[in-house]
Amino acid sequence: MTNQEIQSIKNRFGIIGTAPALNYALNVAMQVAATDLTVLITGESGSGKESFSKIIHSLSTRKHGPFIAINCGAIPEGTIDSELFGHVKGSFTGAIDDRKGYFEITNGGTIFLDEIAEMPVGTQARLLRLLENKEYIRVGSSKVQKTDVRVVAATNVNLLEAVSKGRFREDLYYRLNTVPIAVPPLRERGADIDLLFRKFTTDFSERYRISPVNMTPEARAMLLKYPFPGNIRQLKNIAEQIQILESEANPTINAEVLAKYLPHAAAAGSRAMMLLGNNGSTADSFNERELLYKILFDMRRDVNDLKKLVLRVLNGDAHSGEILREHRDLFSSIEPDATFGQADPQKMLPAHQNSDLSNVQRPMSNNFIEIDDYDDERAEVEDIVHETAEDESLSLEQQEKKMIARALLQNKGKRKYAAEALGISERTLYRKIKQYDIEED
């Protein structure tokens, strides 16, 4: 395909970018569209895999037929067979009538199976038969039915690894992987990050009728270096936040302002390295921890700061009084108990430092660590700091619950959009709602 044809497809489907890997993936999609071959689209969550399925359908001979996108991870295991293949009346409790499945509804068209790795093994066997023979059987029936459907599948995990662990059928993997298309992650697309950011901020400025923001060269360099574990979806969320919150106060975004909207660099960098270590695939456990990374790293940083502060005081820093006043906020959240109580600031330091604390304000004493003997208690202080970190971690579930409830409220109870905002699958969101007993409007 020529560059002009590829650009025409980009304009038609609203695809922004000039990265070679992106152009190659589009070229493969355009070439395979005219055939009926099964396609497997791989790429990280939020990288835009569904757009490729729409391109394949729109350029195929089935373009006038139905197209339906199914998220396999969002359908409960007990009902996915009925959803995909249909059922007959009385086949299970609640089956009060016959029902057509998606493969029957999309006869003559294309079905996009997203998060194919989440499909139960039993359903995988049914899908394999359909791909091989164009045949399927409704749940509760013995009658074989035919369908002419093209299957385009997508996944954000390493299917070969899933095969080795027995979670995915090897024969189905090779049947789906007739033509593979690899969608590059955002961090590998270079200048496309800047193009997408400007596109998103412009769109949001038009939607909300506000002036679009600009970036300084330093901020742009920071944006291009950020790994974006959530890919395009994450970049879009960041662009919307900045456009809405900063367009009036800071119309020109500098690096300091941008840093406030980028999750902690250590957390993002650690996740990016873990992703790369899995050959570009995300492990299942990431969905469970998606909401906790920033909280964990921020909390650990605060605890480490507290520990360093205490040890500096114990080591007899000449400016102990100034250090304590400067970091008073670190002690504000510590509840008084047998260890953290009504202590004298003079007891915070060795005797030779007491004279330096004559100007320390008394209200600070409510939350100070009382240490009677420097030599005997230093090891105990380190244990206290570690215990404090463990106690703080107990609030992670509460934080996660609040984030989920807020996302549901902001998206008017629509789980699909709430899951996208949180960067997790609908299936994970559904499980978390049940786990925390979150009320939905």
Condensed to tens digits (0 to 9), the pLDDT of residues 215-228 reads 999 999 999 999 99
Residue 290, domain member (yes or no): no
Q: Tell me the three-class secondary structure of the chain, residue by residue.
A: CCHHHHHHHHHHHCCCCCCHHHHHHHHHHHHHHCCCCCEEEECCCCCCHHHHHHHHHHCCCCCCCCEEEEEHHHCCCCCHHHHHHCECCCCCCCCCCCECCHHHHCCCCEEEEECHHHCCHHHHHHHHHHHHHCEEECECCCCEEECCCEEEEEECCCHHHHHHCCCCCHHHHHHHCCEEEECCCHHHCCCHHHHHHHHHHHHHHHHHCCCCCEECHHHHHHHHHCCCCCHHHHHHHHHHHHHHHHCCCCCEECHHHHHCCCCCHHHHHHHHHHHHHCCCCCCHHHHHHCCCHHHHHHHHHHHHHHHHHHHHHHCCCCCHHHHHHHCHHHHCCCCCCCCEECCCHHHHCCHHHHHHHCCCCHHHHHHEECCCCHHHHHHHHHHHHHHHHHHHHCCHHHHHHHHHHHHHHHCCCCHHHHHHHHCCCHHHHHHHHHHHCCCCC
Q: How far apart are CA 260 and CA 180, in angstroms?
A: 38
The closest of 29, 360, 372 to 183, measured between CA atoms, is 29
- pLDDT, one tens digit per residue, over 313-368 is 666 655 555 555 555 554 554 444 444 444 444 444 444 444 444 444 443 433 33
pTM: 0.61
Q: Strands, E, within 192-271: which ranges?
A: 214-215, 252-253
Res 390: pLDDT = 47
Clarify whether residues 403 and 382 are in a common domain: no
Among the candidates 132, 163, 184, a domain finishes at 184
What does the pLDDT read at residue 329?
Answer: 52
CB-side exposure of 165: number of CA atoms within 13 Å? 10
Is there a domain that residue 284 lies in?
no
Shared-domain flag, residues 49 and 179: yes
Q: What is the pLDDT of residues 45-90, one digit of tens each?
A: 999 999 999 999 999 999 999 999 999 999 998 899 999 999 999 8
Question: Is there a domain that residue 280 lies in?
Answer: no
Strands lying side by side in the sheet with 150-155: 67-71, 110-114, 150-155, 39-42, 179-182
Q: What percentage of the chain has pLDDT greater than the value 70?
A: 71
134 shares a domain with 45: yes
Is 427 a domain residue?
yes
In whole angstroms, what is the distance from residue 160 CA to residue 165 CA?
9
The residue segments making up the domain with residue 424 are: 396-436
**For the chain, how many structural domains are there in total?**
4
Is there a single domain that holds both residue 19 and residue 167? yes
160 and 16 in a single domain? The answer is: yes
Six token digits for residue 215: 């970036």
Same domain membership, residue 136 and residue 68 = yes
Tens-digit pLDDT string for the chain (441 aa): 788 899 999 999 999 999 999 999 999 999 999 999 999 999 999 999 999 999 999 999 999 999 999 999 999 988 999 999 999 998 888 888 999 999 999 999 999 999 999 999 999 999 999 999 999 999 999 999 999 999 999 999 999 999 999 999 999 999 999 999 999 999 999 999 999 999 999 999 999 999 999 999 999 999 999 999 999 999 999 999 999 999 888 899 999 999 999 986 434 444 444 444 444 444 444 444 445 555 665 666 667 777 777 777 666 655 555 555 555 554 554 444 444 444 444 444 444 444 444 444 443 433 333 334 434 444 444 454 444 444 444 456 777 888 888 888 888 888 888 888 887 888 888 888 888 888 776
Residues 173 and 56 grouped into a single domain: yes
**Do 81 and 162 reside in the same domain of the chain?**
yes
Which residues make Cβ contacts (< 8 Å) with residue 178, sequence separation at least 6?
Answer: 37, 38, 39, 40
39 in a domain, yes or no? Answer: yes
Q: Which helix (H) or strand (E) holds 154?
A: strand 150-155
Q: What is the CATH number of the domain that holds 258?
A: 1.10.8.60
Both 111 and 168 in one domain: the answer is: yes
Residue 277 maps to a domain: no
- 3 state SS of 369: strand
Is 235 part of a structural domain of the chain?
yes
279 occurs within a structural domain:
no
Query: What's the pLDDT score for residue 440?
Result: 74
DSSP H helices, 72-214, are 80-85, 102-105, 121-133, 159-164, 170-176, 192-208
Domain of 410, CATH number, reads: 1.10.10
Assess whether 219 and 326 both reside in one domain.
Answer: no
72 and 24, same structural domain?
Answer: yes
Say if residue 304 is in the same domain as residue 407: no
Three-class SS of residue 70? strand
